[in-house]
């Protein structure tokens, strides 16, 4: 005795099997389906590469700005008595304003002076980020170290876990070490 509900179930499974077979044999939409599968990882990789490139350019801008300001201090064009932390921030931000927000609000500046270059090298053995940021431009003939730090936001998730701090920022930094010329104080 045939039950109608069994025949309907068999027909539904059979129709579903034929549909799946026809779908597997069809080749006209394969490129669209493959692109749909690969598009997300492809674009994620492209955006990660672009983000690394932009961060590299920002790092180079900051490094060049630090070198420029260090030259002004080394030659006496900026005297220790004529500059404070905010003026230093403005001088640096003016040179890197293309990629950094106005006023560089998150920038940290650490400027220290020493009697010799050797004494400066012994201070910085404990890591990159200082426990406290100082602003102590040295007089003529003194050794100086200028370090600038900027937390760069990481947007692409593929990079965030590998290169950023817990707050999702990538610490960009630049350092310049020099001996001041014997300019008149």
Mean per-residue pLDDT for 27-37? Answer: 79
Q: Is the pLDDT assigned to residue 115 strictly greater than 80?
A: yes
Cα–Cα distance for residue pair 114/93, rounded to 1 Å: 25
| pLDDT for residue 101 | 85
Rounded to the nearest 10 degrees, the angle between the axes of helix 85-95 and helix 30-74 is 130
Give the confidence band of 59 by pLDDT, cuts at 50, 70, 90.
Answer: very high
pTM of the complete model: 0.75
What are the residue boundaries of the structural domains of the chain, listed by start? Answer: 56-179
Question: What tokens were used for 168?
Answer: 């999702």
Cα–Cα distance for residue pair 146/91, rounded to 1 Å: 13
Question: Which backbone phi and psi does 148 adopt, to 5 degrees?
Answer: -125, 135
Spatial contact of 164 and 58, defined as CB atoms under 8 Å apart = no
Q: How do residues 149-173 score in pLDDT, each as one tens digit? A: 999 888 876 766 666 677 778 889 9
| pLDDT for residue 173 | 92
CA angle 125, 126, 128 (to 5 degrees): 95
Residue whose pair of structure tokens reads 């490129």 in the numeric block: 31
């Amino acid at each position: 005795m045939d039950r109608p509900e069994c025949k309907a179930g068999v027909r539904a499974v059979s129709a579903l099997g034929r549909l799946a077979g026809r779908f597997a044999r069809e080749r006209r939409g394969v490129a669209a389906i493959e692109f749909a599968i690969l598009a997300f990882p492809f674009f994620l990789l492209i955006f990660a590469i672009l983000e690394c490139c932009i961060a590299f350019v920002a790092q180079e801008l900051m490094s060049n700005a630090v070198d420029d300001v260090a030259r002004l201090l080394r030659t006496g064009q900026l005297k220790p008595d004529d500059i404070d932390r905010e003026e230093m921030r403005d001088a640096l931000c003016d040179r890197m304003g293309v990629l950094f927000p106005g006023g560089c609000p998150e920038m940290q500046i650490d400027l220290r002076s020493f009697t010799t270059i050797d004494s400066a090298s012994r201070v910085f053995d404990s890591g990159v980020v200082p426990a406290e940021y100082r602003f102590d431009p040295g007089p003529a003939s003194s050794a100086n170290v200028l370090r600038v730090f900027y937390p760069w936001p990481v947007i692409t998730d593929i990079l965030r876990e590998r290169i950023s701090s817990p707050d999702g920022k990538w610490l960009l930094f630049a350092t310049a070490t020099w001996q001041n010329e014997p300019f008149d104080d």
